[in-house]
Structure 1
């Protein structure tokens, strides 16, 4: 959101430098992401010349370019190639001649040279406002007044007014700050909290007469439209706005349309109240009806687009049909034109949820909709009308107010909150004086209704729908007082707490810590996915996908049934940025439906991807990569005390491999992403994936609450053992046998090598090297005790699998 410094300064009694204002606003929670200046560099404007376009002709080699002869007061006119859509003969324009340097956005500069453009010489450049720093307007070249004298420096013919723009990143709850006056209110409150003298200047406006005739108004849905004001104005002359209005709108990147539209836009950005003007002559019987639309009712928007309405859409209509999508978009047939002489001016408060659903449903994102859906101020409807009337009177001397009507359902009431001053001090860690608290609250329009025994009864302004609890009020006080003024104590007192029951989050955090220890990074992806990833599914599988009725974009239209596509997007994103040795994991939900029932499951996806043989000197190392990845999965199973009872082939949509089961429950799927799936994301290196079904895992694991143990005083003992086994022997059976030994000193083991060679170890055999880690707690182990444990392991493997020990 852009806020103009010069416009903002009109409502503040104290002078404050733009940099200081930006810092102060950021400290209050209105983060100024960028601070830019406009108005132009005088040195540059001095070098630019006023020129007159003598002729305009088509470029022989380019449809979108034109050839212009431009007089700049010298002996011969310049030939300039220009692509601006608004270029016409007879215009006075800003000309950058050969040798002038035009600053660019990236800090570089463009030096104008005589050059050929599509085969035609160009001896300069006709400038837009953005190119010379006057504004962000780049829709066409800057057209100067006809009185500008050819050959003069541009600096001599324009009023150079330097301004600054605050680009504020608003949080969704701060609709009250979506206007210049709202930002001024926070800035003044923060300045006063710092002990500086400042106040908000009141906006003066003439009140509406109290004896106006009633205008036709019928509200059919008081829930979706709790308040509505309608004012009939005659004597309207549609023309250009006053220069100060045009300049104000231009300072925030808005283009002037006409005096009526500009007045509504100005009020929107001044106080945050959306207004809408209907041509009264195009409203049947000059009577407005606010109602829900009929299902599939047709409506033509202001930009001539036909849409079918939903029965939940709120419309402003007359007896003939919809005139406007309430709070979202105007209609074609009732808009203000050059022939308009009387208008019906709307100032309303609409239900936030209704407006947001309509806006998203039809893809119509407007400034008005953004304010309504975040929560507008229902108490300034009439003031918004008054302000618009004041502005219109400047250009419409015969303007008259001919009628007024107001509807109030009575449902909107200010929220009351009780705040304990003791609780304020306790939660903030500060000791506030009563005077400081009251000053901050009053500066934020929060009224103190009563004070008794350290308790304040507060009335919250209705434009702050997010402030409903004492904690919310405390946050408001602290952000104005300054979070940076809250001192950090020298000593922090804390007590250890113990949980007597199993905590899923703590368990997941420990599992994430284990993965971090193996060098894996956690990712978080969107639960909303793209249906195009699942186009190859059969009808039965497609029927289980949860589709979104009102998707934010045309692509993100389903709830993800699988974690892998989003994981592959992250992998592709990193590979494209030269980070291709990837170890990633994600905890997330997948979604499905069965008939009318919807379900979700918790999953853990682990990814390993490396260029492998694409770069390694020794050739194909993908098998070693997979063994390393499998070793990680085994370590996780060991940590979770899971040992598969059976396994079978897994062929999924995006990957294939093996799935592992306990009690016929699949708890793990392990394999490699399919080539076709990788092609979708332009990935040309191996990607291995492990999918843990967390819901099934939680039903299988021991949920004993972990207890603290003393740190062992002896070092771990490491041993490697190489055994010969049958070639088709699965590792999970070997791992389960080791786990069943219940050797307390054996704390970890993993497969480190898989060797196969008929000449050296025999036909249909393989040699596995398994790494063992032993720890004996506080006892220093003897060689004999270590050897005894290894002998027990060897004996078990020999008896169970007929394993031979490699010599």
Structure 2
């Protein structure tokens, strides 16, 4: 939000410079993003001077140029070549001297000493559009005869200079979204050192002139509109706003439209209260009704876009149809036009949730919705209405032609908060003293209802929507007192804490370091995601999503159940920017809702889990003359995931492996514990249909590790030490012919059942399907490593073990030797 330095000083008498103001406001919680000097005419007419044309004769070398001499009040007149057809001796004109910058939109050019067709020219006689004083370019600008030669143009035209101050409002500080709001904070801060207060323009002169245009108001949805007020003004004249009003709006980045609309914008940025003016003659049935309309109703807004209304969109209607989306955007038919003569002026307080949802549904973000979404002051409604009505009478003429209609059935009470001096001192870290605390609260318009030795009972005005607890009040006191005024302690207090053997932070760091060392990059995805990802899902069901009551947008409506979709978004984003060879990982929480029992504690229906997602896609390595182009594979990711699990003490011999497939993965493996059957990890190939949804061409492989389960399982691990083996290992290989449906895991598991003592490892080093292999069969080349820690193995003993393995493979798996 932008404010004007000069405009701000209308409400508080301060001699602080804009730069000093920046420090004060930032310290009080209204952080200043930038300060920019703004002039009512771009460039401020610097370098331009009022002059008089002394002589004017035809240029000797041109039919359309004139050779002039111009008196600027200096020692000698300047020779200037001019191309305007209306230039003549005796005229008072505006002259741009050598070195002056002139602006045309975003372009600028500098006046230089030059020769034009052989004649010297030391300046330029200007047309009004060349210096930003109008659009005319038929000829030079001719001033009245009484214009004084040598007067700087910025003085003659009364160019205003101001500073536009960008305030970076946080969502909780909507009370500062106006010039009066900023002045209030500034006064509260300065009041600690000197007697100062901010002032609001008086509306005591407001009075009803007649009752010729009474328009009744009905509020059909009071829960969405706690307060609605309006008044009529008749006999107005729509025209351009006066220069002072236009300059104020331009300084804060608004384009003037007409006097009535400009006044509603002016009062909005003055008080923080949005207003809306309706053409009273277009209010069919002479009645205003605040209500919702049926879902699917068509409505055309001011931007001439037809929108389909939701059943909860609050509308300002006449007797027949909608005129405005309440608090968000006006309608194309009921707005103020050049022909408007009578208006109905609206000032209201709308429920923030209704406005926020409507604005998000229609993708609208206006100055009004910005304020209503965060909560406006219900007690400022009438003041803003009277202020705008008086300005309209002053600038647009007309008469106030009705009493103020004020529908406020349930007045909003002040927030009641108790604070103790002990807690104020504890939270701030400094004893400010009771008198200073009360002075700050007074400056913030927080009323002290009663006081004891222990503390205060307060009434907080409703416009401070973020101050409802004791801690909130303490924060208000601290920000006005000044964070920088709380001294840093000279000693540091520290405590020793016992750290558990299995520190989750260290475990995550170890896993991240392992992946980073393998060339992976860490990504962070938003935990809020699209609800559409879970529609008609089987693995992650839609009814298990945690939904937001007030989502920022449709794309951020639910909390994620899996890290898969965020990872695919990152892969698609990179692939679309010529970065398709990816290794990514992400630590993140996933959220689940399971409403089994409506009568039970609702919090128990929510579950949160931490996961680690690993993704690979594209080529395995960058292609070079020594490295052929090879795509990533499932087994490449499998090795990364299994190495991580092994580092955590979860080797394959401690886990159950099962194959799976679903709508998300065309095929994959699930790793789970043998005792308790807890899922540890899943590794899979992302389904082609899902890749097509994200427009990803390359295969994508994902591993999903359950971090919470891994940490729990690791606690059961014990580190054992053993001497290095003294006796050699022996390896034997078998080529087994099996049915295609038999996984390697079954061979490995069966082998360890047959030989528990001497068998050390079982590994698969080749898989073959092709010529020589019967239909429906495959060939596994499997290695078996044997070792006896007490003696050297002999061939007879080794052969006996291998025969037992071959027999069991044949019996249990129908495996034949090739």
Instruction: Name the residue aligned to 2:664.
Output: 653
Matches within 5 A, 1:110-509: 143=135, 149=141, 159-193=158-192, 195=193, 198-209=196-207, 215-489=215-489, 490-494=491-495, 496=497, 509=505
Structure 1 residue 403: deviation in Å?
2.5
Instruction: Name the residue aligned to 2:602.
Output: none
Match of 1:514 among 481, 488, 510: 510
Counterparts of 1:290 and 1:211 in 2: how far apart (Å)?
26
Instruction: Name the residue aligned to 2:588.
Output: 587
Q: Secondary structure at the match of 2:438?
A: helix
Alpha-carbon contact 1:605-1:691 (below 8 Å) kept: yes
Structure 1 residue 171: deviation in Å?
1.8
Alpha-carbon contact 2:504-2:711 (below 8 Å) kept: no
Alpha-carbon contact 2:328-2:366 (below 8 Å) kept: yes
Q: Residue 541 and residue 667 in structure 1: after superposition, are their counterparts in 2 closer, same or farther (change >3 A)?
A: closer
Q: Residue 331 and residue 519 in structure 1: after superposition, are their counterparts in 2 closer, same or farther (change >3 A)?
A: same
Structure 1 residue 384: deviation in Å?
0.4
Matches within 5 A, 1:19-30: 19-30=19-30
Q: Residue 386 and residue 622 in structure 1: after superposition, are their counterparts in 2 closer, same or farther (change >3 A)?
A: same
Q: Residue 638 and residue 405 in structure 1: after superposition, are their counterparts in 2 closer, same or farther (change >3 A)?
A: same
Q: Secondary structure at the match of 1:645?
A: strand
Q: Residue 452 and residue 252 in structure 1: after superposition, are their counterparts in 2 closer, same or farther (change >3 A)?
A: same
Q: Secondary structure at the match of 1:478?
A: helix
RMSD over aligned CA atoms reads 5.8
Structure 1 residue 657: deviation in Å?
3.7
Q: Residue 573 and residue 22 in structure 1: after superposition, are their counterparts in 2 closer, same or farther (change >3 A)?
A: farther
Q: Residue 628 and residue 328 in structure 1: after superposition, are their counterparts in 2 closer, same or farther (change >3 A)?
A: closer
**1:630 equivalenced with 2:639 (yes/no):** yes
Unpaired runs of at least 5, structure 2: 52-63, 69-79, 85-92, 113-123, 144-149, 599-604, 737-742, 769-778, 807-818
410-419 or 512-521: which moved more?
512-521
Q: Residue 721 and residue 257 in structure 1: after superposition, are their counterparts in 2 closer, same or farther (change >3 A)?
A: farther
Greater Rg by CA: 2
Counterparts of 1:493 and 1:668 in 2: how far apart (Å)?
40
Q: Residue 631 and residue 259 in structure 1: after superposition, are their counterparts in 2 closer, same or farther (change >3 A)?
A: closer
Instruction: Name the residue aligned to 2:621.
Output: 613
Counterparts of 2:386 and 2:625 in 1: how far apart (Å)?
78
Counterparts of 2:650 and 2:355 in 1: how far apart (Å)?
52
Q: Secondary structure at the match of 2:459?
A: strand
Alpha-carbon contact 1:647-1:658 (below 8 Å) kept: yes
Q: Secondary structure at the match of 1:345?
A: strand
Counterparts of 2:338 and 2:729 in 1: how far apart (Å)?
91
Residue by residue over 1:1-45, the C-alpha shift from the partner in whole angstroms, topping out at 9 and shown as x without a partner, is 222223223223112222332233223222223333322775995
Structure 1 residue 386: deviation in Å?
1.8
Counterparts of 2:505 and 2:477 in 1: how far apart (Å)?
35
Counterparts of 1:404 and 1:538 in 2: how far apart (Å)?
53
Instruction: Name the residue aligned to 2:54.
Output: none
Q: Secondary structure at the match of 1:233?
A: strand
Counterparts of 2:254 and 2:496 in 1: how far apart (Å)?
56
Instruction: Name the residue aligned to 2:776.
Output: none
Counterparts of 2:483 and 2:790 in 1: how far apart (Å)?
60
Instruction: Name the residue aligned to 2:812.
Output: none
Structure 1 residue 221: deviation in Å?
2.5
Q: Residue 544 and residue 375 in structure 1: after superposition, are their counterparts in 2 closer, same or farther (change >3 A)?
A: closer
Q: Secondary structure at the match of 1:526?
A: coil
Q: Residue 682 and residue 340 in structure 1: after superposition, are their counterparts in 2 closer, same or farther (change >3 A)?
A: closer
Alpha-carbon contact 1:94-1:144 (below 8 Å) kept: no
Structure 1 residue 464: deviation in Å?
0.9
Structure 1 residue 553: deviation in Å?
5.6
Structure 1 residue 622: deviation in Å?
6.0
Q: Residue 464 and residue 789 in structure 1: after superposition, are their counterparts in 2 closer, same or farther (change >3 A)?
A: farther
Residue by residue over 1:257-311, the C-alpha shift from the partner in whole angstroms, topping out at 9 and shown as x without a partner, is 1111111111111110111112222224533222232343443323333333333
13-22 or 365-374: which moved more?
13-22
Structure 1 residue 419: deviation in Å?
0.2
620-629 or 214-223: which moved more?
620-629
Structure 1 residue 241: deviation in Å?
1.2
Structure 1 residue 471: deviation in Å?
0.8
Alpha-carbon contact 1:207-1:386 (below 8 Å) kept: no
Structure 1 residue 173: deviation in Å?
1.7
Q: Secondary structure at the match of 1:379?
A: helix
Structure 1 residue 478: deviation in Å?
1.7
726-735 or 601-610: which moved more?
726-735
Unpaired runs of at least 5, structure 1: 51-68, 79-91, 114-123, 135-140, 744-748, 771-785
Q: Secondary structure at the match of 2:229?
A: strand
Instruction: Name the residue aligned to 1:85.
Output: none
